[in-house]
A and B are shown apart, each in its own frame.
Chain A
Amino acid sequence: MSQRVRVPFGPYHLALEEPFRVSIEVEGERVTAATVRLGYAHKGIERIMQRRRWFECLRIAERNCSICTQAHSQCFSQGVEELARVKVPERAEWIRTLVAELNRIESHLLLLGVLAHKAGFSTLFMYAWYARERIMDALEILTGNRVQYAMNVLGGVRRDVREDVARAVEAKLDEAMREVRRYERVFLEDSSLKSRLKEAGVLSKDEALKLNVVGPVARASGVDWDLRRDDPYLVYGSVEFRVVVRDEGDAYARTAVRLYEVFESERIIRQALRNLPQGPISTPVESVGAGLVVSRVEAPRGELLYCIASDGGLTPRRVKIRTPTIPNVRSLEYILLGAQVADVPVIIGSLDPCISCADR
């Protein structure tokens, strides 16, 4: 009978991009137990926000994370705008959608590259990040920043999108998507990559529903749920896109969902660039009223929720942030059971955990 050995994965480990710990117990090459520990990047952001003014909180919110920065910015600003009873101009909503979808592509390409790297396919990692670089160029043209875009202001957006800017963004998008289409088949059909991802970290639909996982992780397990369609915000109710769902529930399906979501985001961006209405880009927010709002957006990793309570003063009374990574990493304690030790990095990577977000 083989002996049970406890193997610490993290908080600092070659297979992890950010610090968190997965303690696994192995018997031979099989994982028999796993526990997750977070908090190594805890910043106390919720508490900090209670002592900052509303407009300052927006800048703090988007610094929860550099990869899903626009999702945090959008989730917080739409919550505050609801409290302030301010209607964001239509043009600003389209611009916010444009930035959000570019951000989603950037985030998904980052993960696809990282996953290829973890599966031992470094060339594909470089290709994916080459395309991502073009998207970051587009974001820089659009917002002036490559990472923390700071595009949203309470009541609208900070910069308008001139015609020449829209064309430059479209050119960068064309360039990036040309690259993505070139290696689409490699991601989905390369036999060595497929052998690493297929049947690794399987999460059935029943388990996904029971564990309340969100975003591409849930959709790869057959859960047809996307807040852009099911609790629409911004202009998602008036653009055409498809919610990508697969049934296999393994790392391969999670990769495929993200890859196809890149194409859906591209569709939304092209519609936004084509249909950008004329008009103002912001409405002044004079004061924020008292009340409680629950704001949700579909971040690149799934449902992001902000619960914001206000007394009608200059600062929030309470801001609660629930990021998509929290339920998703919780599921690791189930997904890893029975997995091969060598597959653990790939399985963790396929969940796309964003620890900076989760720790707040």
Chain B
Amino acid sequence: MRSPLADVLQELVSKNLVQRYEKLRERRWMLYTEGSMLRGLASYLRLKGARLSAITCEETFNAFTLIYHFDYGGEVLNAVLSITKAPGCVDTITDIYPVADFYEREVSEMFGVKFINAPRTERLFLPDDWPVRTASERGGSG
């Protein structure tokens, strides 16, 4: 039996896994979190039966915005966090959500973000000899 979404959101805030959340529209939520909270957030949502749909990365001047899109019974929970380009690292969640392996490797190849403790780092989309810039090479003082 799935817990009501309102309870899940409340608990995420009370467990300090999310700083705050807001409703964008029907069935769309933004959860504002931090890199240090990510693994706890993913573990909690996995336990509650949420699916990981995708990871979006967006590059700004000196940071990356990562959005983890979770599906919780038809509700989309977009967990947003920002990481600075120096060092441009965030913990992997592949051990929690095996499917994150492909999503993280794509973000890593396209943006140079490093996923700490990621089990696999070989190329998935780009050719093996394609010169991918690291996060710090992309500029920004951090």
Measured CB to CB, the residues of A under 8 A from B are: 37-39, 42, 82, 209-212, 227, 230-231, 292-294, 296, 303, 305, 307, 309, 317-318, 320, 322, 326-327, 330, 359
Partner of B102, one of A209, A305, A330: A330
If A294-B69, A318-B58 touch, whether A212 touches B97 (CB-CB below 8 Å) is yes
Measured CB to CB, the residues of B under 8 A from A are: 24-25, 27-28, 49, 51-54, 56-58, 67, 69, 71, 73-74, 76, 78, 97-99, 101-103, 123-127
CB pair B58–A330 under 8 Å, yes or no, is: no
Looking at the assembled complex, report how far the CB atom of A314 sits from the nearest CB atom of chain B, in whole angstroms: 18
Chain B residues contacting A210 (CB-CB under 8 Å) are: 98
Chain B residues contacting A317 (CB-CB under 8 Å) are: 58
CB pair A294–B78 under 8 Å, yes or no, is: yes
Cα separation A210 to B49 with both chains bound (whole Å): 9
Chief secondary structure at chain A's binding surface: mixed
CB pair B53–A305 under 8 Å, yes or no, is: yes
CB pair B125–A42 under 8 Å, yes or no, is: yes
CB pair B69–A39 under 8 Å, yes or no, is: no
CB pair A307–B54 under 8 Å, yes or no, is: yes
CB pair B58–A230 under 8 Å, yes or no, is: no
Chain A residues contacting B102 (CB-CB under 8 Å) are: 326-327, 330
Partner of B54, one of A230, A231, A320, A359: A320
Cα separation A230 to B72 with both chains bound (whole Å): 10
Looking at the assembled complex, report how far the CB atom of A52 sits from the nearest CB atom of chain B, in whole angstroms: 17
Looking at the assembled complex, report how far the CB atom of A238 sits from the nearest CB atom of chain B, in whole angstroms: 16
CB pair A318–B56 under 8 Å, yes or no, is: yes
If A212-B51, A294-B28, A305-B69 touch, whether A38 touches B58 (CB-CB below 8 Å) is no
If A39-B126, A303-B53 touch, whether A230 touches B73 (CB-CB below 8 Å) is yes
Partner of A37, one of B53, B56, B124: B124
CB pair A296–B99 under 8 Å, yes or no, is: no
Chain B residues contacting A82 (CB-CB under 8 Å) are: 25
Looking at the assembled complex, report how far the CB atom of B126 sits from the nearest CB atom of chain A, in whole angstroms: 6
CB pair B58–A309 under 8 Å, yes or no, is: yes
CB pair A307–B67 under 8 Å, yes or no, is: yes
* 28 A-B pairs in the complex with CB atoms less than 8 angstroms apart: A39-B123, A39-B127, A42-B125, A42-B126, A211-B98, A212-B53, A212-B97, A212-B98, A230-B73, A292-B24, A292-B67, A293-B24, A294-B28, A296-B53, A303-B53, A303-B71, A305-B53, A305-B69, A307-B67, A309-B58, A318-B56, A320-B54, A320-B67, A326-B102, A327-B102, A330-B98, A330-B101, A330-B102
CB pair B76–A38 under 8 Å, yes or no, is: no
CB pair A359–B125 under 8 Å, yes or no, is: yes
